[in-house]
Amino acid sequence: MAGNIIVGVTGAKVSRRAVDWAILRAVQRRQAIELISVVGGAIGTVGEAEVLGAAQTATQQLLDAEARRVTDAGVSVTTRVESGNPVTALIEAAAGASLLVIGSDYRGAGTGPARGVHGIRIAAGAKCPVVVIPDRDLGEGMGVVVGIDGSSVSEHAIEFAASEADRLNEPLIAVSAWTPLHTPRNAMEVYPDLYLANMQSTTEEVLSLSLAGLSSRYPDLKITRRAERGHPSHVLGTIGGDARMVVVGTHGRGAVARFLLGSISQELLSHLPTVTAVVR
């Protein structure tokens, strides 16, 4: 894949996890890495220049330490310290990149959702795929899960997921979820069997159409199809909890909507089941 990998670096522990993930991918894809850290909060007040300078120096030292780890792995690396809004700075820095990797403070079930909105806004606004790393040991997952809904954005997610599964020598787990029509309480306690069967078969058809031709491009890739009843984010989160990666699309459009994610993507980023990629 053309282009380098951008990694957003902070002083948080999860930042090292993000760099480690990027190193592995860069080695396998023969890509370069650029480490970027953003010093934010400056408002131009009197005496701020000295504080800002010290913060930039400390930040560069942090990047230099991480850069040495990248170099030791045999990967070409550059560093950059930016000032301003972290969301805007990372989105602009990643404009020509193949991938943007960031960390999240999410630490797993029982810890509450990820705090803050930076990760969600970055994933929504970036022009390249964004990979978000949770702040916990992930263990030995298996497979790359991709959420499919039949949209054009879903097609991009499928291609990215297939490429990652092929890189990792893992199966591709294609998931499409269907949810019964919502009705007022007690209006329909039992859905007709024909309705449920048709919902299942329609979802299976969407999967088949979306995956058509994929095997010819990735002849060695094992593909598993799963059409599941349930809310999409819950289905993807449950299946993705045992996977190496989950891939979903984002439907952000326009100057305002580019900072908004679809509800499924946002829910997954708030409760990361594993390493999660958001693809435009």
**Tokens of residue 3, six digits:** 């282009």
Cα dist from 19 to 53, 70, 246, 262, whole Å: 25, 8, 18, 27
- Residues 8-27 have a mean pLDDT of 96
Task: Give the H or E element holding residue 34.
Answer: strand 33-39
Please determine, for residue 107, whether its predicted confidence score (pLDDT) is greater than 50.
yes
Q: What is the dihedral of CA 6, 98, 4, 94, to 10 degrees?
A: -40
Please determine, for residue 1, whether its predicted confidence score (pLDDT) is greater than 60.
no
Please tell me the distance from the alpha carbon of residue 269 to that of residue 197, in angstroms, as a whole number: 31
Please determine, for residue 75, whether its predicted confidence score (pLDDT) is greater than 70.
yes
Q: How many CA atoms lie within 13 A of 46 on its CB side?
A: 0
The full DSSP string for 85-141 is -HHHHHHHHTTT-SEEEEE-----TTS-SPPSSHHHHHHHH-SS-EEEE-SS---S-
pTM of the model: 0.90
Please tell me the distance from the alpha carbon of residue 159 to that of residue 154, in angstroms, as a whole number: 9
256 versus 2: which is more confidently predicted? 2
Please determine, for residue 194, whether its predicted confidence score (pLDDT) is greater than 80.
yes
Closest by Cα among 233, 222, 232, 235 to 269: 233
Yes or no: say if 277 and 245 are a contact pair by the CB < 8 Å rule: yes
pLDDT at 181: 82
Please determine, for residue 67, whether its predicted confidence score (pLDDT) is greater than 50.
yes
Residue 127 buriedness (CB in 10 A; 0-12 / 13-18 / 19+):
middle
Q: Please report, for the chain, how many H helices and E strands are present, in that order.
A: 10, 10
Confidence of residue 44 (pLDDT cuts 50, 70, 90): low
Confidence of residue 266 (pLDDT cuts 50, 70, 90): confident
Confidence of residue 262 (pLDDT cuts 50, 70, 90): confident
Closest by Cα among 103, 10, 105 to 65: 10
Confidence of residue 173 (pLDDT cuts 50, 70, 90): very high
Confidence of residue 43 (pLDDT cuts 50, 70, 90): low
* pLDDT > 90 fraction of the chain, expressed in percent and rounded: 68
The structure tokens 């193949």 sit at 98
